[in-house]
Amino acid sequence: MNATSTAIPFAKASACGNDFLIIDGMHAPADMVVFSRRICDRHQGVGADGVEWLFPATDADVRARLFNADGSEAEISGNGTRCVAAYLCAEQPKEKVSVRTGAGVKTCMLTARSGVQYEFEIAMGEPQVGDEFSIKLAFREVRGVPVSMGNPHYVVFVDEFAPGWQGEGAEIGRHHDFKYGINVELVKVKNAQEIEARFFERGVGETQSSGTGSCAAAVAAISAQRAQSPVRVATPGGVQTVRWEQQVFLRGPAQLVCRGEFFV
Asked if residue 72 lies in contact with residue 102, where contact means CB atoms within 8 angstroms, the answer is: no
CA angle 171, 157, 82 (to 5 degrees): 80
What's the pLDDT at 5? 73
Contact 47, 19 (CB under 8 A): yes
Listed by start position, the domains of the chain span 7-123+252-263, 128-245
pTM: 0.95
The tens-digit pLDDT sequence of the chain (264 residues) is: 555 579 999 999 999 999 999 999 999 999 999 999 999 999 999 999 999 999 999 999 999 999 999 999 999 999 999 999 999 999 998 999 999 999 999 999 999 999 999 999 999 999 999 999 999 999 899 999 999 999 999 999 999 999 999 999 999 999 999 999 999 999 999 999 999 999 999 999 999 999 999 999 999 999 999 999 999 999 999 999 999 998 999 999 999 999 999 998
C-alpha distance from residue 30 to each of 39, 53, 133, 260 (Å): 15, 13, 41, 21
Strands 194-201 and 96-101, sheet pairing:
unpaired
CATH number (1.20.58.340, 3.40.50.150, 3.10.310.10, 3.30.428.10) of 7-123+252-263 reads 3.10.310.10
C-alpha distances in Å from residue 24, one per residue of 82, 96, 199: 16, 20, 28
List, in order, residues 6 or more apart from 248 with CB less than 8 Å away.
123, 124, 125, 126, 127, 149, 215, 218, 219, 242
Looking at residue 4, its pLDDT comes to 56
| Fold annotation for 128-245 | Diaminopimelate Epimerase; Chain A, domain 1 (3.10.310)
Question: Is there a contact between 135 and 175 (Cβ–Cβ < 8 Å)?
Answer: yes
User: How many angstroms from the chain centroid is the CA of residue 252?
Assistant: 12
